[in-house]
Amino acid sequence: MTASPTIIGAPHFNFLKGITTMTDIPNPVDLTRTLLLFNTVNPPGNESELARFAGDLLSGVGYEVSYRSFDLKRTNVIAILRGGGKKLPLCFSGHMDTVPLGNARWRVDPFSGEQEGDILYGRGSSDMKGGLAAMIVAGLRLARLDRRAADITLVLTAGEEHGCQGAAYLADQEKKTLGRAGALLICEPTANYPMLGHKGALWLEAEALGAAAHGSMPEQGVNAIYKIGRAISRLEAYRFTVESHPVLGAPTLNVGTVSGGTTVNIVPDRAVIGIDIRTVPGQKVEAVRADLAAYLGEEVQLSSAVGAESVWTDPADPWVREVFGIMEPVIGEPPEVRGVAYFTDASALKAAMGHPPTFILGPGEPSQAHKTDEYCYASKIETAAEAYFRIGRQWTEG
């Protein structure tokens, strides 16, 4: 995930007043600490144990829980709290995996949830076990409401950090179990600022093939590096025709990797580049891929590694006004229309669930994602749990 520059100050604590103490519902910070104990570093992920733990908590208060694995120990959870069915469900979603620890030494234990004042450390504290815990606690509280006019769906995904594998699997194979949603809330780190979308991502490999020959007789071979070199030059000159998005900006293209050849005295028979394209609303990743394939011609073959569509919600949507109203006291001013720099599972889930209005909103610090000694503010986790509960209550009682 690419860090977003947005960092919001400390939450307004009076927002938390009026929370009744619930001895049998875990405190969201304690629950975050528990979730940190599960090592879900991806690769390999191993989300299954965390999935079962969360699923047990939710089924204990009446959620219908389905476990859907896309590989050994790679389990997604879909938990549905049945309501009156007067309107479509509100869906909360978060991922269970984290990125690796990195090469630098950690000053703190990445898995035990060490806390210094308001700062809670751990791999995944910001991205995004804090958000996951807040969403689960809100889900447990919503099960206590006497009157519910709509279902509440919680989707816990595996494999997000490797191109949204788990969400893509659910979108492809489990659309029926997911069902349609009336609104979607992705609990990724935004420091509790409500965000309306993000760019899409298309990661491609372009491969050029040649014919090997002795380096002293290049005329007898076909040099794949020359082919890939021409492709790189063409990519540097490539211009998107779509207009810039007023909030998310313009689409971008970057050649991030290049490799080819075996040794200096052999004409290289293969060369490959990695291309990272970020799309904006109005572009479809498949159409961009096809356009680029035609533009580069037959010298290279393109294959897709990741294709995640952009996500955007109209700020005039009534639910957006509702959530902005709930979050205004948290951020201390009327929220502005903003997006995040990274992409999320919403790329897969939004389309699969019928394109509901979507927020990215979570307690983690976007600047802490993927960092050594990653941390999250405990108070923001509590604030998020309360905000999610209010958003859910308004949806299902309103």
Which residues of the shown chain bind Zn ion in the complex (CB under 5 A)?
A: 127-128, 188
**Cβ-based nearer residue to Zn ion, 289 or 370:** 370
Contacts of 133 (CB under 8 A, 6+ apart): 26, 28, 29, 31, 32, 34, 35, 381, 385
**Cβ-based nearer residue to Zn ion, 123 or 289:** 123
**Cβ-based nearer residue to Zn ion, 128 or 320:** 128
CB of 188 to Zn ion, least distance (A): 5
CB 50 within 8 A of CB 39: no
CB 118 within 8 A of CB 210: no
In this structure, the strands spanning 270-279 and 150-157 are unpaired
Please return the burial class of 255, using the count of CB atoms within 10 Å of its CB with bins 0-12, 13-18 and 19+. middle
CB of 199 to Zn ion, least distance (A): 15
- Residue of minimal Cβ distance to Zn ion: 127
**Cβ-based nearer residue to Zn ion, 46 or 223:** 46
Maximum C-alpha span of the chain: 82
**Cβ-based nearer residue to Zn ion, 188 or 373:** 188
**Cβ-based nearer residue to Zn ion, 165 or 396:** 165
Amino acid at 299: E
CB of 197 to Zn ion, least distance (A): 15
Structure-token match 């893509």, residue found: 168
CB of 170 to Zn ion, least distance (A): 16
Q: What angle do CA 3, 362, 185 make, to 5 degrees?
A: 115
CB of 342 to Zn ion, least distance (A): 7
CB of 283 to Zn ion, least distance (A): 23
In this structure, the strands spanning 119-121 and 200-209 are unpaired
